[in-house]
Amino acid sequence: MAQDHQPQSQQQHRPLDLDAIEAFVRIAELGSFTRAADAMQTTQAAVSLKLKRLEDRLGCRLIERTPRHVELSARGAAFLDPARELLAVHQRTLATFAEQARRERIAIGISDHVAGPDLPALIARMNAHDPGLVIEIRIGSSGDLLQAYDRRELDVALLRFSAGRGDGQVLAEEAFGWYAAPTWQHRAGEPLPIVTLAEPCGVRVVASRLLDEAGVPWREAFVGGGVAAVSAAVIAGLGVAALAPRMLPLGAVEVGPRLGLPALPRLPVVLHSRVRGGRGREAVGVLGAAFGGSAAALDRLWMP
């Protein structure tokens, strides 16, 4: 009968069987096929078969068997440490994968005009809700964050508003006003000095449009990279800023009615999320509730 022999090159490129390697290591460490079978929760015959497959694959005898004892051959002794290393690498790989699965990650973008002073408490609340969830938070303008969301760089975007798009959920609306330092005075006849965020800031767009429509001359007095910088400039007396009361620096006062400035509209807080399940969904629920989202509003996020 003809036998099917694989060429040596094919034999060398066949992967090693990790179960067979474990059987070999167990036999070597425990000195018994029976104890190796017990440790692997299988039968002695199965352990013997695994070892034979490994010896056939390597083309040498690894274990010398006698009626009284089991011992390593010279080739088996040389293979023992590499075999242990292979098993250790395998276990580390599985452990790394399990850790990555356990520490799920969610990327959240929050508009600078939404984040506010409560952000540290919100992060602490989300972490307390699920300490194993890795939370990435990016602060920026609504326009930039919406683009990042569309590029799938963010799983969630919490924005001041989103230019009429229908794929977000309105959580709440906040009033805005014109605020300045308590000692600040507008010099008659001069353009109104405005403290604002850089473009593309949606609040800046709304505020400047209303000033233009009302015929109020204005100029940029300070352009900040964030609401914290804008607040600092307001308190420093550089000018007037359009802010929500929740975002006000300590001591700022409303000056809109006194200066006859146009009323600012209530602006929505809009949540965009592509998270549909798992631990991330619970985190989005905590985030949405913190900014006034009702249970019904949050439920609409999960609708297909």
The answer on 276 and 150 residing in a single domain is: yes
Mind listing the pLDDT tens digit for each residue in 40-53?
Answer: 889 989 988 998 99
**More confident site: 241 or 161:** 241
272 and 169 in a common domain: yes
For 98-132, the pLDDT digits (tens) are: 665 555 788 999 988 888 787 888 888 888 888 87
- Whether 148 and 294 map to the same domain: the answer is yes
Tell me the two tokens of residue 51: 């070892």
The structure tokens 């890795």 sit at 134
Higher confidence at residue 101 or residue 268? 268
87 and 19 in a common domain: yes
Nearest Cα to 284, choosing from 174, 100, 295? Answer: 295
Residue 116 DSSP code: -
Same domain, 167 and 18: no
Q: Tell me what pLDDT residue 119 has.
A: 84
Q: Is 282 exposed, middle or buried (0-12, 13-18, 19+ CB in 10 A)?
A: middle
The residue that leads in pLDDT, 119 or 238, is 238
Confidence of residue 192 (pLDDT cuts 50, 70, 90): very high
Q: Are residues 92 and 130 in the same domain?
A: no
| Structural domain count, the chain | 3
Give domain status of residue 1, yes or no: no
Pure H helices in the chain: 8-13, 18-30, 33-39, 44-58, 74-102, 112-115, 119-129, 142-150, 202-213, 227-235, 256-259, 278-290, 295-301
Q: Are residues 112 and 81 in the same domain?
A: no
With contact defined as beta carbons under 8 Å apart, do 272 and 161 qualify? Answer: no
Q: Is residue 162 domain-resident?
A: yes
If one counts every other C-beta atom within 10 angstroms of the C-beta of residue 133, the result is: 18
Tell me what pLDDT residue 102 has.
58
What CA–CA distance (Å, rounded) separates 288 from 170? 10
Range of the domain at 84: 13-101
Give yes or no: residues 246 and 210 share one domain: yes
CB 73 within 8 A of CB 43: no
Cα 304 to its chain centre, rounded Å, is 22
Pairwise CA distance, residues 210 & 152, whole Å: 33
Per-residue confidence (pLDDT) for residue 154, from 0 to 100 = 93
Among 75, 101, 127, the domain boundary falls at: 101
DSSP readout, 56-85?
Answer: HHHTS--EEE-SS-EEE-HHHHHHHHHHHH
Q: Tell me whether strands 70-72 and 192-197 are parallel, antiparallel or unpaired.
A: unpaired
**pTM of the full structure:** 0.60
